[in-house]
Structure 1
Amino acid sequence: MAPIRFGCLVFDYQAIDVIGPCDLLNSASKRLMTAMKFFGPVDEEALARAPDFVFHHIGETREPVPLLTSALTLVPTTTVDDCPELDCLLVGGPNPARFQVPPKYVEFIQRHVAAGKLLFTTCTGAAVVAATGVLDGKHATVNNLEYNWVVKHYPKVKWTKDQKWIVEGNIWTGSGAIAGMDMFAHWLKENFGLNVLRQGSLSLDYEPRDSDGLFNVLPQRYDSAGRKVSTHVFPQ
């Protein structure tokens, strides 16, 4: 299986909006699962089915970009002009009231969606994408704290806050930052299997929720006495 080419647009987004999903995808990769064999057993079926990823962080230029939170600065690995072909694109969330989407980013997002490729948003990243027009007439969600603001500014989008994430064709929108990680957990499970998600989430001690916010994604396990045991326990 060829590596999945995964891009993230760089601007002053909230750090976890992008870093969280990327870490989950990396943890579910064949490369990292193979490395984890040093520390203990790895589900061999999960390893066989696991994908690999090549990550690209895409800026207007290669100049460092201070992120919205955590006093972090990120250096793009490529630019919108030089970016290699992508399979997936992730747009994280800035302060939507202050962020002006650069024209090159508008065109980049529009081309990506028009090509039928997967687009993911987390948190207020949906507002960034809404500004390009590609969400017009589509169902989408966004961080609930900014919900009223985006409804007012992008009324052509069918906004909802009833679910943690929404899938509309090739566009996936997640609400808050951790709901975005839950959305990616669902994508991993649907495309590569529950055991790949389980093995990947083990590295993060992460238990994802479903789109209703319920912790029922990783099936519960019980010992012979009926006591709940970790969903991350694997047979030796």
Structure 2
Amino acid sequence: MTSYPANLPIDAPDRMNVLFIVYPNIVLLDLVGPLQVFTHSRRNALSEAAYRTYVASRDGGRIETNTIVQIESDPLVNWSEARQKPPIHTLIVIGGDGAGEAARDKAFVEQIRILAKQATRVCSVCSGALVLAAAGLLNDRHAVTHWEDCEQLASQYPAVKVEVDPIFIKDGKVWTSAGITAGIDMALAIVKEDLGKPAAIEMARSLVTPMVRSGGQSQFSAELDRQARDTEGRFSRLHDWLSDNIRRRISVDDMADECGMSSRNFSRRYSDVMGISPAKSLEAIRVDRARDLLATTDKSIKVIASRCGFQDDEGMRRAFLRTVNTSPSEYRKQFRLR
């Protein structure tokens, strides 16, 4: 992180300035996840860091987080009123429990509105979307925030087209992300856009992130939901087996055999534990896999349907309409990471 005095000369035109905006009671991981990505991303192994990172708040100084760690910040006036202003490539408003109060701070919101006009790209992590919305920066745009805050964002700012499901959304120059770790996914996607896919993958490898996720993936993890329902792991081996054999035609009898149970007993126990029938659970696993392929590959819908075990592309379309409320083709149009 670089502290920016107002009179610092702009001596690295090839490095992009990323300004993080914070306020009291931010979520620490909302900040440090994307901060880590931008601080260490580079065009290739031999090049210098591609970004110069800064943290600023309304008045500067130490900012409380939702942990014992405090964050040092520069005053926003250094950026909004400095005679020699550094070019802001990416402006990122961080989320936290203090977002609602920050969004009601008219002076703070006005400073962000001014800086957003200078920035090439404007972003929010988690509930930071409330601050962008208060500044009018999300009007008539698709946006997302942490799933717990989507209702508040939609009700307080009806001009915002709130999406509940994606982990991040790009609408023009404005990017918004879902909660907490989704900020890392958004940052990696930005690195991919700025520096190319190899740079994003290398950064993800450095972070030991299992994959560079597309924005079209859901912030609701079906796998975590299954684990939360099946806390004793009675069907965890079955779910692994289903994922490994997703291309196969799988019946309830096949699942019962895998669990060493009769079909009737298996169906009853599975529904009691998981709150959903085995067939519906299998369909959800197939749809999740299809969503990932639609967002991250150029494979045809027919090929994806076959790879995910649907009887045909029409069967996949019907499953999407039931579970995602849209067709595979429309889903790809909205969420494909180009």
Return the TM-score normalized by structure 2.
Answer: 0.55
Match of 1:80 among 55, 76, 83: 76
Which residue identity is paired with 1:9?
I
Matches within 5 A, 1:167-178: 167-178=170-181
Measured in 1, the distance between the counterparts of 2:127 and 2:142 equals 15
5+ long unaligned stretches in structure 1: 31-45, 220-236
Gap runs ≥5 in structure 2: 1-12, 80-84, 218-290, 298-338
Q: Write the distance in 2 (CA, Å) between the matches of 1:57 and 1:158.
A: 28
Q: Deviations over 1:45-92 (max 9, x none)?
A: x3357752211111222321111x22211111x211112422211101
Task: Calculate the aligned-residue CA RMSD, in Å.
Answer: 2.4
User: Per-residue CA shift, 1:160-205, capped at 9, x if unaligned?
Assistant: 1232111111110011121221111111112211211122122211
Larger radius of gyration: 2
Q: Quick one: distance in 2 between partners of 1:98 and 1:104?
A: 12
How many residue pairs get aligned? The number is 202
SS of residue paired to 1:58: strand
How much does 1:117 deviate? 2.1
Choose from 2, 25, 43 the match for 2:38.
Answer: 25
Q: Distance in 1 between matches of 2:103 and 2:129?
A: 13
Equivalent residue runs for 1:118-129 within 5 Å? 118-129=121-132
The residue aligned with 2:277 is none
Percent identical: 20
Give the corresponding residue for 2:28. Answer: 15
Give the number of the structure with larger relative contact order, counting CA–CA contacts within 8 Å between residues 6 or more apart. Answer: 1
Partner of 2:197: 194
2:216 paired residue number? 212
Counterpart residue identity of residue 203, structure 1: S
Q: Deviations over 1:207-226 (max 9, x none)?
A: 3311122777999xxxxxxx
Counterpart residue type for residue 27 of structure 1: H
For normalisation by structure 1, the TM-score amounts to 0.76
Render the CA deviation track for 1:85-105: whole Å, top value 9, x for unaligned.
222111011224444443333
- Aligned pairs for 1:55-74 (under 5 A) are 55-67=53-65, 69-74=66-71
Contact 2:89 2:121 in 1 (8 A): yes
Partner in structure 2 of residue 146 of structure 1: 149
Residues 15 and 92 (structure 1), Cα distance of their counterparts in 2 relative to 1, 3 Å cut: same
Give the Cα separation in 2 of the matches to 1:50 and 1:56.
17
Please say which of residues 166-175 and 53-62 is displaced more in the overlay: 53-62
Q: Which has more strand, going by share of residues?
A: 1
What secondary structure does 1:163 align onto? coil
| Amino acid of the structure 1 residue aligned with 2:69 | L
**Corresponding residue for residue 223 of structure 2:** none
| Partner AA of 1:2 in structure 2 | D
Change (3 A) 1:194 1:50: farther
SS in 2 for 1:156: coil
Match for residue 136 of structure 1? 139
Out of 182, 187, 212, the position equivalent to 2:185 is 182
Task: Tell me what 2:95 maps to.
Answer: 93
Name the one with the larger helix percent: 2
Indicate if the aligned counterparts of 1:126 and 1:142 stay in contact, CA closer than 8 A: yes
The 1:101/1:54 distance shift into structure 2, 3 A limit, reads farther
